[in-house]
Each structure stands twice: as C-alpha cells, then as structure tokens.
C-alpha cells in the first residue's frame, strides 16, 4: 500500500473535472483504493509520500502514433501530405527491413513515450514482421498497455513497400498469432488505409479478425483525396467505414479510426454501431493540411473521440500539447464554420485520459479500482499568483514541458 498527498485532478466525465486540493490518494495492489480529503483513521500510521504543491493527474493515452516515423519528427513540416509521404515517410519506413535500425528506433521511441507521460498507446509499425516484433517486445518489456499493428498495403503503394497479397495475409496472421497472448502489448489489424489495400486483402484480414478476436486501426477520411479515392477503389461502397464493415473488420474491439476529418453521416453511423473511436490528431492535421476535425459536433453526436500525436505528421510526442492544440483548432473551426462549436479544455483533457482509457484495462481516471497510472506535475505556478489545481493542469497542457513531469507511475510503481 502507498499513500500520496498532493492536489489531484482527473476527468469525472467529459464536462466536469474532479478536483481535490491537497488530498490523499491511497493505492493498494497497483490500483486506486480511494481519495480522501481527510485520511481515515485506519491509515493514520501508514507512511505518506508528500508531493507538497504538485498535482497528480492520470497518465496519457496516445491512440494514433507511427513508431517507425519517430526519427522524422519535426522534419519536412513544410510539405503537404502527398509529398510528405512519398518523399520522406515511405523511404524512411523502408529502412525497417534492417532489424538493427528497428531496435535502435523502437527502444528510443518507447523510452520517449514514457518520458512524455504516455503509458498507453495504439501504434502503427511497418510492413516488416521482424521489426514489428521488436516494437511489440519493447512495449511489452516496459509494461505499456498498447495495441500494435503490422501495416498492410498491397496496392497503390511504392514498389519497395508494396506487399504481395498472399504474403501480407500470411505474415499478418503470423504476427497476430505470435503476440495474441501478450499481457501488455497486443496485436491489432492495421490496413494503412483503403486506397492501399485490395478488397481480397481486407476480406482475409476480416477472417483473421474473427479467428483471433482482434480489432482494427486505420486512417479514415483523413483527407478529401483519401475519402474520394477510397470510394473510387471500392465503387460498391458509399463511404470509407462501409469498406471495412463489408470486409468483416469491425466486429471486434477496439475499432480505431484515425483522423475522421471528413466523415459522412453514414461513416458516423457505422463507427458508432461498432463502438469505434475517432482519433483527433490536431498538430498533424495542421502540419500536412489534411483538414480540421469537427470535434464539437461529433461530440454532440456522441461519437467517442480520443487524441493521437500522429508522430511524425505531428511533431511532438507529448499528448498534453495535443490537448491544447485540439482546443485551439476547434475554435478556428467554429470561427470559420458557424455550424461548428469549439470544445472546452475539460472536454479535450477527458478525450486524452478517461475516454481513451476505455480502450485499455482500467486506466485514464482515479476512480476506485483503476490502475494508478499517474503523472506528478509541478513548477508551473508563480510565487506571486497562486493557481487552483485544475489551472495548473491547464497551464501544463498549454505551456508545460517534460521537465514539469516530476514523477511517473505505471501500475502503481514509480518508473
């Protein structure tokens, strides 16, 4: 048992932060037992770790990140999506046939996730099985709750990344079978996006999904080009989500739809019917000018939205900066499109913690029974102007740095 004394902030729901000024959080067997403003007598003789003026918040979840693009973060940001992919990203991903390169990158990527306070993630790898295995092993070793996908792409792709359809199917099943019983880093099916996958490939992935009860992550209506190209490639389907539904890829959770910027009403209907999550990647969408998610109106339609860094279209691994970017973009969207509304900081924080945590096991909040996956943040207020705990959290998300994360806890243990 551990008892920590500090201010505590977490999401009660999307519209309300639960805030405690100078309270006690009791952790037993890696999970939260309770939060008390006055410590019960049964704990009076227990050791208390006092974090003084710091604030304890839940660790973050990144639900869309490309681990192989980690070396490219902050580079080629002056390019639009097509040139960014073809001139930089695809050539970089081809390097992962070299497992030594993969080991160096994926070890660094995993350590940097933790450094930035991200303890749970949905991660893209590449088409390469050995390198994808290494990524899974890195995350599993560090106990990062995660879903990791070996990417599929057998059409409309550079020759050096284009897979043979049957080999892609075979290698995907091998990858899933190898890691299906992992405790932390589990496999997820990962067709890159509809225009790079034949329907034969998607249908066979659907069979794998059913056989092993695994979910799917992919890019969904990320750009106008991708939306229109998907319908052109699959002229019998009226929208992007329908392609995956027909292939049998939406029957197992989690379903992770990255970007979801230009959804039709049918895309939204299908995503909700299958309990899927739309992932907002604010920095990425501005860097490559894909478009701006209709975050406010999607929330009002009860679409589940989480947040992703989308390294390396996004330049920064810290999800806390994506929270503030999500608010800023929603204000821009609402300013230019009167039917849209901006979102609050409270809603954005919820998306990055409690909502995203629903994809994993008992994370994202400090309710009783949840794992104590937590960050202790501090040194964010001025001596001459004191802030409430929730204001310290907001400042951290807008102007904080890694150095403001003073302690990190994963499954109750400081790391």
pLDDT band for position 235 (50/70/90)? confident
Other beta carbons less than 10 A from residue 127's beta carbon: 27
Using the 3D structure, point to which of 318, 340, 357 is the last residue of a domain. Answer: 357
Instruction: Please report, rounded to a whole number, the percentage of residues in the chain having pLDDT higher than 70.
Output: 100
Average per-residue pLDDT for the chain = 96
Place of tokens 């207020």: 381
Residues 15 and 148 in one domain: no
Domain that holds residue 373: 2-58+364-414
Q: Are residues 309 and 173 in the same domain?
A: yes
* 284 and 391 in a common domain: no
Residue 254: asked if its preceding bond is cis (omega within 30°), the reply is yes
CB 273 within 8 A of CB 247: no
29 and 178 housed in the same domain: no
What residues pair up with 11 in beta bridges, in sequence order? Answer: 17
CATH assignment at residue 81: 3.20.20.140
Q: pLDDT tens across 59-112, in order?
A: 999 999 999 999 999 999 998 888 999 999 999 999 999 999 999 999 999 999
pLDDT bracket for residue 225 (50, 70, 90):
confident
183 and 42 share a domain?
no
Q: Are residues 101 and 30 located together in one domain of the fold?
A: no
For residues 232 and 351, membership in a common domain is answered with yes
Mean pLDDT along residues 384-400: 97
Residues 372 and 335 in one domain: no
Q: Where are the alpha helices (DSSP H) in 337-388?
A: 345-350, 356-357
Q: Is the pLDDT assigned to residue 320 strictly greater than 90?
A: yes
pLDDT (0 to 100) of residue 255: 98
- 3 CA to centre of own chain: 29
Going by their DSSP bridges, the two strands 31-36 and 16-28 should be labelled as antiparallel
The distance of Cα 5 from the centroid of its chain, to the nearest Å, equals 29
Which pLDDT value is given to residue 153? Answer: 98
Whether the pTM exceeds 0.85: the reply is yes
The pLDDT-based confidence of 369 (bands split at 50, 70, 90) is very high
Co-location of 149 and 9 in the same domain: no
In whole angstroms, what is the distance from residue 296 CA to residue 310 CA? 20
In total, how many domains does the chain have?
2
Q: What is the CATH number of the domain that holds 53?
A: 2.30.40.10
- On whether both 268 and 368 belong to a single domain, the answer is no
| Same domain, residue pair 51 and 66 | no
382 and 339 fall within a common domain = no
Structural tokens at position 202: 């998607």
CA–CA separation, 15 and 351 (whole Å): 11
Q: Which of 342, 357, 372 is the last residue of a domain?
A: 357
**Residue 337's pLDDT band (cuts 50, 70, 90):** very high
* Mean pLDDT across 107-134: 98
pLDDT, tens only, 21-34: 999 999 999 999 99
């Amino acid at each position: 048992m551990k008892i920590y004394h500090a201010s505590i902030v977490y999401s009660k729901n999307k519209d309300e932060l639960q805030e405690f000024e100078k309270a006690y959080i009791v952790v037993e067997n890696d999970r939260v037992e309770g939060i008390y403003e006055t410590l019960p007598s049964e704990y009076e003789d227990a050791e208390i770790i006092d974090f003084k003026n710091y604030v304890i918040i839940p660790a973050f979840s990144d639900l869309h990140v490309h681990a192989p693009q980690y070396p490219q973060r902050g580079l080629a940001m002056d390019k639009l999506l097509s040139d960014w992919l073809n001139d930089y990203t695809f050539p970089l991903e081809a390097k992962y046939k070299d497992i030594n390169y993969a080991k160096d990158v994926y070890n660094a990527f995993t350590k940097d996730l933790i450094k930035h306070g991200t303890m749970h993630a949905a991660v893209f790898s590449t088409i390469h099985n050995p390198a994808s295995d290494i990524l899974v092993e890195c995350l599993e070793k560090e106990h990062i709750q995660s879903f990791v996908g070996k990417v599929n792409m057998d059409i409309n792709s550079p020759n050096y990344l284009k897979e043979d359809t049957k080999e892609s199917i075979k290698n995907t099943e091998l990858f899933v079978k190898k890691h299906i019983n992992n405790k932390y880093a589990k496999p997820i099916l990962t067709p890159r996006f509809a225009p790079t996958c034949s329907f034969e490939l998607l249908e066979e992935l659907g069979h794998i999904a059913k056989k092993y009860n695994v979910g799917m992550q992919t890019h969904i209506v990320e750009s106008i080009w991708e939306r229109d190209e998907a319908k052109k490639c699959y002229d019998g389907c009226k929208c992007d989500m329908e392609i995956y539904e027909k292939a049998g890829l939406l029957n197992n959770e989690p379903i992770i739809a990255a970007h979801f910027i230009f959804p039709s009403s049918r895309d939204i209907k299908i995503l909700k019917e299958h309990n899927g999550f739309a992932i907002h990647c604010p920095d990425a969408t501005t860097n490559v000018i894909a478009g701006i998610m209709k975050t406010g109106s999607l929330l009002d339609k009860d679409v589940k939205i989480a947040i992703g860094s989308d390294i390396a279209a996004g330049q920064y691994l810290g999800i806390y900066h994506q929270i503030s970017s999500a608010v800023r973009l929603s204000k821009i969207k609402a300013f230019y499109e009167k039917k849209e509304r901006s979102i609050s900081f409270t809603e954005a924080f919820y998306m990055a913690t409690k909502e995203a945590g629903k994809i994993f096991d008992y994370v994202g909040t400090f309710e009783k029974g949840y794992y104590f996956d937590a960050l202790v943040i501090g040194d964010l207020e001025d001596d001459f102007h004191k802030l409430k705990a929730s204001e310290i959290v907001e400042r951290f998300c807008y102007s904080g740095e890694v150095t403001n994360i003073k302690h990190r806890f994963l499954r109750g243990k400081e790391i």
